[in-house]
Amino acid sequence: MNQVFPWREAPAAEFAVIGDPVSHSLSPRMHQAAYAALGLRYRYVAVHVPAGEVGPALDHLSALSYVGVNVTVPHKEDALKWCTQIDPLARRVQAANTLRLADKACINTDAPGFMETLESLRREAGSAVLSTINHQASTIKPTVLLLGAGGSARALAFALAQAGWRLRIYNRTRERAVEMLNGLEIEAELLSQPDPEGADLILNTTSASLQGASLGIPWENASRDAVAYDLMYAEGGTPFLREAAERGLRTCDGRPLLAAQGALAFEWWLGVPAPRQVMLEALD
């Protein structure tokens, strides 16, 4: 568990992760390990920012001379609104998770980081399904059941659509899912229930796991060859992943993605290669 600072009481530091909640985040441990490995004397802290206070909080951190900020749920859309220099992907998915405060610049590392982790899963598992990530070279069109329609969901839905995946999407509020698809200009099947039947990848982008809540997925309908992937992580596994494992599915939590995102942010901020293996090992 991190020491968490209310944003008005943020300490002297160069980097931070902001969220609500944020005490669970392993980002401070990961980035501090990276700095130590390279002999860099930087500090990275966890800062709690309640909903509706993202703009003032970022103004405050900027005034304190913070260099960069990572953004976790549920603030990725509000973080984008604060920025004035927005990279094309962040603009397209209307969500930013990595900010440079001095010039109010932002990028989104969710999509490229996520696709890196799928490639790693493919190599580890030798999965015929996951090997079709680059659909341009394949006649097979794998299917993903994507749960959620927030900032992370938008980035990943766009990346998967670009890579040739067939999308099925479930969100508690259907209208929000429709808005997401219209904004991204991609096609997907909208489901009235989170049914995993026929899905090769079952992807949870919601924050339900942070509250220890079950999504009520009928796991008996899932293929034993499917991969269950939760963007969240928790000691002992999230409810989503524990339920999937009981069904016999291969599972992946959000730590590999956190490491991939963190490395991309590190390199964007500092302009030097990130010690990726150190960062990943710091999350164990």
Strand 68-71 and strand 98-100: the pairing is antiparallel
- Residue 199: CATH number of its domain: 3.40.50.720
Q: What is the DSSP letter of 83?
A: -
Are 98 and 177 contained in the same domain? no
Are 252 and 130 contained in the same domain? yes
Are 237 and 123 contained in the same domain? yes
CA distance 249 to 223: 8
Are 207 and 97 contained in the same domain? no
- Residue 69: CATH number of its domain: 3.40.50.10860
Are 116 and 102 contained in the same domain? no
DSSP letters spanning 163-187: TTPEEEEE-SSHHHHHHHHHHHT--
Which residues carry a binding-site annotation for NADP(+)? 148-152, 171-176, 231, 254
Q: What is the DSSP letter of 134?
A: S
φ, ψ at 201 (rounded to 5°): -135, 130
Which active-site residues does the annotation give?
76
Task: Identify whether the C-beta of residue 23 lies closer than 8 Å to the C-beta of residue 1.
Answer: yes
| Number of domains making up the chain | 2
Which residues carry a binding-site annotation for shikimate? 25-27, 72, 97, 110, 233, 261
Query: Residue 238: inside a domain, yes or no?
Result: yes
What pLDDT is recorded for position 205?
Answer: 95
CA distance 15 to 44: 5
Are 130 and 81 contained in the same domain? no
Task: Write out the residue range of the structural domain in which residue 223 sits.
Answer: 111-256
The tens-digit pLDDT sequence of the chain (284 residues) is 679 999 999 999 999 999 999 999 999 999 999 999 999 999 999 999 999 999 999 999 999 999 999 999 899 999 999 999 999 999 999 999 999 999 999 999 999 999 999 988 888 765 545 554 444 445 578 999 999 999 999 999 999 999 999 999 999 999 999 999 999 999 999 999 999 999 999 999 998 887 888 999 999 999 999 999 999 998 889 999 999 999 999 999 999 999 999 999 999 999 999 999 999 999 98
Q: Which of 66, 92, 108 is the last residue of a domain?
A: 108
Are 84 and 158 contained in the same domain? no
Query: Residue 269: inside a domain, yes or no?
Result: no
Query: Residue 283: inside a domain, yes or no?
Result: no
Are 242 and 185 contained in the same domain? yes
What pLDDT is recorded for position 210?
Answer: 78
Are 72 and 167 contained in the same domain? no
